[in-house]
Amino acid sequence: MYTHSHPYTTLLSHLNAHLPHSGPLYRRIQYQASHPSSTAHVLVSFPETSAGNEHGSDSDREPWLAAYADIHRGPDTQVWLFSSIESSVNLGDGISNGNGNTNISQLNSHSREITKTHLLSLFTYIQTTLVPPYVSSLPTTTLQPTVPSTVDEGVPKIPAHKSTSYLLGTVNTTLESLIVELRDEGKLTIHRGAGVHYVKYCFSSEAFADHSSLLEEKEKENSKEGGGGGYRFRDSSGILGIQDHHINLVKNRTNIPRSREALLAMGGVALYHDDPSSQPGSSPPPPPPFDKEGREMPIAWAFLGFDGSLCSLHVEPEHRGCGLAGVVGKEVMKRGVEVFEPGDEPVGGSGPQSKSEEWYFADVAVDNAASRRVMEKMGGVARWRVAWMVVEVEK
C-alpha cells in the first residue's frame, strides 16, 4: 500500500468517478482537509505519482483500493475503505436482495484475487505499522476488551473491541464477502460484524434543497391541530447545535459507544420545543426538559458523521409521530454542505466539486422498518448493504 500525502488533488478525483459508491471515503478524506488529524493516513493500492494516469479513469483496467485509517480514533470508527470493484457489481436496491449477500459471482477471478491481495496488504500494513503506536499510547487498563459501564448511560452499549483490532466502517458487502474469504483462508480474524447488515441510503443534495420551510410548516401544522408549543433549532439562550451538556443525554439514548470527543467534533443539530403552558389545546406535548443546572435540553437531535453519514438520529418518545425525525435529519445534512465544502483552496489543493457530487448517507439496520420509512420519506434511496466489522491480522 502507498501513502498519499495530498489526496485532495489526487485521490478525490478517482473517488469522484465512482460516486455515490465511493461517497463515505470521499467525504472522510474531504473532512480531513479542513479538520486534519496528525494520526490519520490515506492508503492506496497505487502510488501517488501515478495518480493522474490510468487509475483515475472510469474504465479502470485493474481494480484499486483506497482507505482512510486513523487507528488512534478508537473506539470510534477507525478505517473507511473503498474498492473500484464496488461500483461494478449490481447490488439491487439494498433491501430486496434476499439475505444481503452480494452478487460476488459477477466479479471475475482475476479481480477478486487482486482485491483480496489489496485488502490483506492494507490490513497487514495497519497491523504492523499503525496499531503498535496506538496500543503503546493507551493506559494498560484499556488493552483488553471490556464492556463499558452502563451506569447512567441508558441502554446497554456494544462491547468495546480489543485495542489490537480495528473497526472498519460501512463496508460494502462486496468487500465484506472478500474479507470473509480471507478469514476462511486463515489470513485474518473477524471479531465482529460479518453477516450483520445495514441498508445504505443515499441522499443527493436535491433531497433537502427545499428544506428551509419544513420547520415552519411543522409549526403551522402544530398550531392548526391545537398542539402546544412550536419547535425550534435554537435553545432559550439562542444557541444553535449540540452543546457539551447535551452529550450525556445523547450517549444515554444510543447503544453505539461513541466518544464524547467524536460527538462534539461532529457537531450536530438539536431541536427544542416551547413551553406549551400558555398554548391552547387539550393534549399539548410535555413541558421542555431541563438538566439539574436548569439548562434547556433538546427533544430531538442528529449528527452528521465524518463520512457524511447521518447518525444518532433520535426523537424523544413524547414527540414521536410528528415527522420531526425527517426535519432534524434533513437539517443536519443541509448544514453538512458547509461542513464538507473544502473551500476555495484546502491544504494541497481542492477536490472536484459540483452539485451532482453532493451526496450524504445513512446506514439503517435491515430489520428496522420504522427507521427505513423515515429515510425514504426524507428522500433517501436504498442502494446497497454494508457491514461494520472489527478485524485483526494475528501473528
- Whether pLDDT at 372 is above 90: yes
List residues bridging with 68 in a β-sheet.
42, 80
How confident is the model over 21-65, as pLDDT tens digits?
999 999 999 999 888 999 999 999 999 876 555 444 444 478 999
Phi, then psi, of 240 in degrees rounded to 5: -90, 150
Q: How far is CA 385 from CA 28, 103, 200, in A?
A: 19, 12, 5
pLDDT at site 219: 58
Nearest C-alpha neighbor of 220 from the set 334, 322, 325, 313: 322
**Would you give the DSSP letter of residue 234?**
B
Confidence of residue 299 (pLDDT cuts 50, 70, 90): very high
pTM of the predicted structure, to 2 decimals: 0.85
How confident is the model over 322-334, as pLDDT tens digits?
889 999 999 998 8
> Span 296-300, mean pLDDT?
93
Confidence of residue 221 (pLDDT cuts 50, 70, 90): low
- Whether pLDDT at 174 is above 80: yes
pLDDT at site 381: 94
pLDDT at site 387: 97
- Whether pLDDT at 350 is above 80: no
Range with the lowest mean pLDDT among 142-156, 172-186, 196-210, 251-265?
Answer: 142-156
pLDDT at site 295: 87
> Span 199-217, mean pLDDT?
74
Confidence of residue 158 (pLDDT cuts 50, 70, 90): confident
Cα distance between residue 230 and residue 236, in whole Å = 13
Task: Return the C-alpha cell found at 348.
Answer: 494541497
